[in-house]
Amino acid sequence: METLERAGEQKGKGLAELRHVSRKAHEAVDAAFSHFELSDPKSYGAFLTAHAHALVAAEAYLSRHAASVPPWRPRLGLLKDDLQQMGLPVPSALHEISSQDEGAALGVLYVLEGSRLGGRVLSGRVPEGLPTRYLSAVYQKGEWPAFLDHLGRYLDESEASRSQAVTNGVVETFALFQKSAALQG
């Protein structure tokens, strides 16, 4: 009985720790993007361009490490369509994600999939007539909980170095988005 109780206490611990450790990086990204005015077409275009700088690198990284992550739905094509509709070029990657540690790809995907939640909220701030395919690309039923379950199991069942690799992937991806926002600001 005592062993079962300890196992129950450990379940979910890795994901809670990841959220705690990455909170400051997440808040820094939110602050970096907060100066974009989504109701202004020029500022919204800069917002999308900043996202594209980071997303190009993040999705390329995930494509190279597809065996390390569960199936995912890229959104770069949607973002490119939005930029094209606004008459804006698709920027190149700001810089490549460098981590090669096992688990880092899960951290990258955690940030990208988590951004879908914010995208839904932000899409409501974009005036009618501006494209929102990228921001409106929300989850299919059960996708987010299934991903969190997969990530949580990975973190709970992994040795410290593999869990640290996930954290490194999260922090590096948030830093990439933060730097992209600063370049467009």
What pLDDT is attached to residue 107? Answer: 97
| Structure confidence by residue, pLDDT tens digits, 95-128 | 888 888 879 999 999 999 999 999 999 999 999 9
Please write the tens of the pLDDT for every residue from 45-58: 999 999 999 999 99
pLDDT at 11 (0 to 100): 61
Residues in the chain: 185
The CA radius of gyration of the chain, in Å to the nearest whole number, is 17
Tell me, what's the pLDDT at 98? 83
Question: What whole-number distance in Å separates Cα of residue 159 and Cα of residue 67?
Answer: 19
Instruction: Tell me the average pLDDT across 171-178.
Output: 96
pLDDT at 3 over 50: no
132: phi then psi, degrees, rounded to nearest 5: -135, 25
Question: How deeply is 12 buried, as exposed, middle or buried, from its count of CB atoms within 10 A (0-12, 13-18, 19+)?
Answer: middle
Q: What would the CATH number be for the domain defined by 2-184? A: 1.20.910.10
Residue boundaries of the structural domains of the chain: 2-184
- Under 8 Å between Cβ of 89 and 151: no
Quick one: average pLDDT of 83-106?
90
Residues 126-170: tens digit of each pLDDT: 999 999 999 999 989 999 999 999 999 999 998 888 899 999 999
Mean pLDDT of the chain: 91
Q: How far apart are CA 165 and CA 94, in angstroms?
A: 21
pLDDT band at 10 (very low <50, low <70, confident <90, very high): low
